[in-house]
């Protein structure tokens, strides 16, 4: 999608601090980190969210890269959280499928403001 910021990052049209990349997946540092480690994993092809007819093999590949990101960022042993927000009620703010990998500190019980 031409107006999707994550598509532009995947196409290297917008700079990002890339953690990991292959032909189908890119992982980069979140610009508004909620914890010391906050990386986003996205498929390079645009899908609005996890329910958007994403091929199962691509979903598997996306989630299989979580452990590699955790190793790269040094949180594999201490622990981390993975989150995939979906839709407005799920607080998805960028409508391109993405998985958050968060760690590097004790997880709060609740993250962000309660609206």
Residues of the chain with pLDDT under 50: 114-115
The per-residue pLDDT for 26 is 98
Query: What is the model's pLDDT at position 41?
Result: 98
The answer to whether 98 is a known catalytic residue is yes
Residue of 38, 95, 96, 98 with catalytic role: 98
Asked if residue 75 lies in contact with residue 104, where contact means CB atoms within 8 angstroms, the answer is yes
Rounded Cα distance between 67 and 83, Å, is: 14
Domain boundaries, the chain: 5-103
What is the structure's pLDDT at 4? Answer: 96
Q: Identify which of 108, 104, 115, 97 has the alpha carbon closest to the alpha carbon of residue 48.
A: 97
pTM (2 d.p.): 0.90
pLDDT for 115: 45
Which residues, listed in sequence order, are joined to residue 79 by a DSSP beta bridge? Answer: none
Report whether CATH 3.40.50.720 matches the domain 5-103: no
């Amino acid at each position: 999608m031409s107006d999707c910021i994550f598509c532009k990052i995947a196409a290297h049209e917008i700079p990002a601090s890339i953690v990991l990349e292959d032909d189908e997946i890119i992982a980069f540092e979140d610009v508004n980190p909620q914890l010391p480690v906050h990386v986003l994993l996205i498929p390079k092809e645009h899908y609005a969210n996890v329910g958007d007819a994403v091929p199962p093999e691509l979903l598997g590949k996306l989630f299989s890269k979580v452990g590699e990101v955790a190793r790269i960022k040094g949180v594999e042993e201490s622990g981390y959280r993975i989150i995939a927000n979906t839709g407005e009620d799920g607080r998805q703010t960028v409508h391109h499928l993405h998985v958050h990998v968060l760690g590097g500190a004790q997880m709060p019980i609740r993250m962000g403001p309660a609206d």
